[in-house]
């Protein structure tokens, strides 16, 4: 699977915050429960749930339903967070085929 730069346009600030919180919480547990993500996210419950579903649809998050609804960051999602960190430090100007 390769890094698709066109997916960056579908992610807003809420999605990045949720992915960051999932990465931070996954250091303590392997699969982060949805209730824990909602509790630690600064956005409202509906915005957090919408961000989780957007990231899951783009295959940046993986979902497990046993015994509760929990998520973890996929390798694709970790790559996106790494590129975002590089973009924030202005070490990378643009991404794409040109």
Return the CATH number of the domain spanning residue range 5-88. Answer: 1.10.10.10
Mean predicted confidence (pLDDT) in 10-14: 89
* Vertex 64 angle, CA 12 and 79, to 5°: 45
Domain chopping of the chain, boundaries: 5-88
Q: Which residues pair with 62 in a beta bridge?
A: 72
H/E element holding 71?
strand 70-73
pLDDT tens string 28-86: 888 999 999 999 988 899 999 999 999 999 999 999 887 888 999 999 999 889 888 88
Contact 72, 33 (CB under 8 A): no
The closest alpha carbon to 14, from 48, 56, 62, belongs to 48
């Amino acid at each position: 699977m390769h890094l698709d730069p066109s997916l960056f346009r579908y992610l807003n600030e809420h999605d990045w915050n949720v992915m960051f919180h999932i990465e931070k919480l996954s250091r303590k547990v392997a699969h982060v429960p949805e209730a824990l993500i909602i509790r630690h996210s600064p956005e409202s419950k509906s915005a957090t749930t919408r961000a989780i579903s957007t990231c899951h649809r783009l295959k940046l998050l993986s979902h497990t339903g046993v015994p509760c609804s929990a998520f973890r960051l996929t390798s694709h999602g970790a790559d996106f967070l790494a590129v975002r960190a590089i973009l924030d430090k202005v070490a990378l100007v643009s991404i794409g085929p040109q």
